[in-house]
Amino acid sequence: MKILVLGSAAGGGFPQWNCNCANCDGARKGSINARARTQSSIAVSSNGTDWVLINASPDVLSQIRANPALQPARAIRDSGIAAVMVMDAQIDHVTGLLMLREGKKKLNLYCTDPVWDDLNHGLPLVPVLSHYCGVERHVITGGTAFEVPGVAGIRFHPMPLKSKAPPYSPHRANPQQGDNNGLLIEDIATGQTVFYAPGLGELEPHVLAAMQQATCVLVDGTVWTGDEMITLGLSQKTAADMGHLQLSGAGGMIEVLDSIGERRKVLIHINNTNPILNEDSTERAQLAQHGIEVAFDGMEITL
């Protein structure tokens, strides 16, 4: 099983277009050791030709261009993307669907009922796409494993994560199971698995169990501290308010990853303010001491 990290940043990418924090300013000027990153998304395949795109970021076209494996060129119009799966209805995970509108067939889209509702009403991308390629919807239900036709050898185990729906969701004030989701992705032949959760705000028992089971965890690394955005004067929201678990401190993601034993541990969905983006930072060195990697655009994970 192959996993391509197409994008590894949180919403806005890195450097963010309107941000002049130390990271973004340093990245533009070349004064810090940091890689540019697009907004988070991965692709999964068993044969390196047929892929499931998981989350369709606004940067999807540049991500496809940067990853030639997604364009096998078998016909005059072709794509290696057999289906798209979205974990939530957040802007940075779904607006790339509009960039895939030129398909000759309906877009195969896997999502939960709450996400489907948001994509028809809160952020009505599905009605827009009906004027182009259209959408063939496939239901994701937490706890029910499934396979994607055309992508042999991989089984997906979805699970709900506690989080709020996007601000534009009709049920923003009434969170529903399935607003935000994680995936245990299984190589059927080998039994090896990757746990993928770019948005993880609370460590529920079933989530911890999935992390303990996985060969590799690819999880939320949005911010270093819970008050990071507030301290920098960029927001009044804590990490918890945004539906993310901070990396440092008691109960943080580093502590969680330490508790699950030996396995590959990779952080994704990194916010532009997070000091771990500076590869020479003390925070980045601390991650290395704990055996934790930081995803980057173009990273390949093979199990």
Beta strands in 206-298 (DSSP E): 216-220, 264-268, 292-294
Residues in the chain predicted with pLDDT less than 50, given as ranges, are none
The token pair that represents 179 in the structure block:
């607003």
Compute CA 26 distance to the chain's CA centroid, rounded to the nearest angstrom: 25
Q: By the 8 A CB rule, do 77 and 188 touch?
A: no
**Sheet with 216-220, side-by-side order of all strands:** 154-161, 180-187, 193-197, 216-220, 264-268, 292-294
Identify whether the C-beta of residue 97 lies closer than 8 Å to the C-beta of residue 72.
no
CA distance 292 to 217: 10
- Asked, as a colleague might, if the bond just before 15 is cis with ω within 30 of 0, I would say yes
Cβ burial, residue 255 (10 Å; 0-12/13-18/19+):
middle
Q: For each of the domains in the chain, give its residue range(s) and CATH number, in order of start.
A: 2-302 (3.60.15.10)
The SS3 of residue 246 is: coil
pLDDT in tens, 95-139: 999 999 998 899 999 999 999 999 999 999 999 999 999 999 999
Tell me, what's the pLDDT at 231? 85
Burial of 203 (0-12, 13-18, 19+ CB in 10 A): middle
SS3 67: coil
The 8-class DSSP code of residue 121 comes to I
213: Cβ–Cβ under 8 A, 6 or more apart, which residues? Answer: 184, 193, 195
- What does the alpha-carbon distance between residue 243 and residue 137 come to, in Å, rounded to a whole number? 26
Q: Are 219 and 247 in contact (CB under 8 A)?
A: no
- CA pseudo-torsion sign 106, 268, 25, 90: positive
Position 135 scores a pLDDT of 98
